[in-house]
With several copies, the nearest count.
Chain A
C-alpha cells in the first residue's frame, strides 16, 4: 500500500485535510470511503457531559498498524488513514476518522468497515463517561465483538 497514516492525539481533526492527505501522491485513486465517529450525547439514556478517552501509547499505534495491514492483505488498497482522539471530549465532538482509498468502491467500503470493526475490539482505547450520574467506564459491547468476528467467517469477500 502506498500511504499509511496513523495518528492518536488530543486535538480535533479536519476531515477534508485528512482526505487530501490520504490521496496525496496517489496516481490512480477511484474511490474513497470514510467513517467519522462522534461522541454521543446520551448512552443507554445517561446524559453524558464529558467523555474521557484513555489509551495505551505505543501499543495503540501498533495495533492499528496491524489492523490496516490485515485489511491490505484482504483488499487491494492504495491508502489508509486512522485518526483517533484521546483526552477529554464533549458530546458532538469528532472522536475517530478512518479513510481508505482504492481503485474500486467495494474494496474501499469493505476495508473501511473492517478497520472500524477491529479498531472497536482490538485497539487499546477506553472510554469513561462523566455526567450527572457520576463516572462510568463504558462496557465493551458484545455486538462489537460479533461484528468483528463476522470477518473471520468471511475471509474472501
Chain B
C-alpha cells in the first residue's frame, strides 16, 4: 500500500487531504506515481501537482529528484513552508 498526503494550499486546491493506493506489484518511482495521479484525476490535478515550487517528501523526508518507491511508503505533496 502507498499513502499519499496533501497539505495546506495543495490540499485545498485538490479538495483532497490524502489517498491510499494499492502497491502495484511492480517497480514504481515518484514521478511515475505523480503521472498516474494526474492521468487519473484530470487536468486540474496535473496543473497543481506540477507547479514549480511543489515540495515532495517520501517517508517524511524532502526529495528534490525522482526516487524509487517501496510498498508501505508515505508520499506527501506540499507548498513551501511558512511556519515559525
A–B contact (CB under 8 angstroms): yes
Interface residues of A, Cβ cutoff 8 Å to B: 37, 53-56, 58-59, 62-63, 84, 95-96, 116, 119-128, 137-141, 144
Give the interface size bracket for B toward A.
10 to 19
Number of interchain pairs (Cβ within 8 Å): 72
Interface residues of B, Cβ cutoff 8 Å to A: 5, 7-9, 12, 53, 57, 60-62, 76, 78-84
Q: Determine the chain A residues whose CB is within 8 A of the CB of B8 once the complex forms.
A: 54, 126, 128, 137
Q: Is the CB of A123 within 8 A of B79?
A: no
Least Cβ–Cβ distance between B62 and chain A, in angstroms? 8
Q: Give Cα A96 to B81, complex, Å.
A: 15
Of the candidates A58, A116, A122, A128, the one whose C-beta lies within 8 Å of that of B81 is A122
Q: Determine the chain B residues whose CB is within 8 A of the CB of A141 once the complex forms.
A: 82
Asked, given contacts A56-B60, A62-B60, A124-B78, whether A84 binds B9 with beta carbons under 8 Å apart, the answer is no
**Looking across the interface, which residue of chain B has its beta carbon closest to that of A8?**
B83
Q: Give Cα A37 to B82, complex, Å.
A: 13
Q: Is the CB of B76 within 8 A of A55?
A: no
Q: Give Cα A139 to B80, complex, Å.
A: 8
Q: Is the CB of A119 within 8 A of B60?
A: no
**Looking across the interface, which residue of chain A has its beta carbon closest to that of B13?**
A137
Q: Is the CB of B84 within 8 A of A56?
A: no
Least Cβ–Cβ distance between B13 and chain A, in angstroms? 10
Asked, given contacts A124-B7, A126-B8, A126-B9, whether A56 binds B76 with beta carbons under 8 Å apart, the answer is yes
Q: Determine the chain B residues whose CB is within 8 A of the CB of A128 once the complex forms.
A: 8
Q: Give Cα A61 to B49, complex, Å.
A: 25
Beyond the given A137-B12, A139-B82, please list 13 additional residue pairs across the A-B interface where CB-CB is below 8 A. A37-B84, A56-B76, A58-B60, A96-B84, A119-B84, A120-B81, A120-B83, A123-B84, A124-B7, A126-B82, A137-B8, A137-B79, A140-B79
